[in-house]
Structure 1
């Protein structure tokens, strides 16, 4: 590869993370929706329950949740890698620390699945609380990330 192509890849690699994170924020919102619908399905009765079961919210929630977990871990590690490649260092700031914290929280949330499958209500409530916290932090990350992207563009 020529030096120009490598330089172009290096420059534009900085924008993969922000785009991925906005997609991930949308997927996280959909995962929350399917999770709430699955919880609603579990407490419904009669024809409403039959109708909700047909929509397979539990399967959708597990599938979207797995995608969200994967993208968050890969996105976090990839962002740190791209930052290091482009700057020669990591910038330890609230955006990085919060992102790492969110990555840990999503792993904790996913690890509750076996307990939820055995009917443990404490695990369900913990899962919900952790994911609401992640979603709130994600909104804040989106705002601070826009500022970081603007700094990158200004340096170009």
Structure 2
């Protein structure tokens, strides 16, 4: 089982969008039984809440389900429980790394590391309102992320 965790600040916009998109992609490839895909936030502010309305609207628009998804805060055990922790920006990555003193077993990197784009971070649509832009970046990186994970898992 390959375990993938997407992380953003509050777990209501970017990381649930990435989780839903990546799960849909993996399912379409017939690989869903080989993966566990989740998302979490650095903060606890939105725990138990569904994805933000802008994220839900965009996912509805493209026919990707987010049923049952609720925000949760990342915990230090996630750094060992997941194989990959993909953060949406540099501050998220620093915050994840600060959860533990010892080296985690998970591979931790920014989502934009797999996207051919000049941006270093996935902009937060909670602040920008640009849910289409966020979705396009997630879409750009998903195939490459899946290929990288499958290649490393062989």
What TM-score does the superposition give when structure 1 sets the normalisation length?
0.34
Q: Larger Cα Rg: Structure 1 or Structure 2?
A: 1
More helix by share: 1
Structure with the bigger percentage of strand: 2
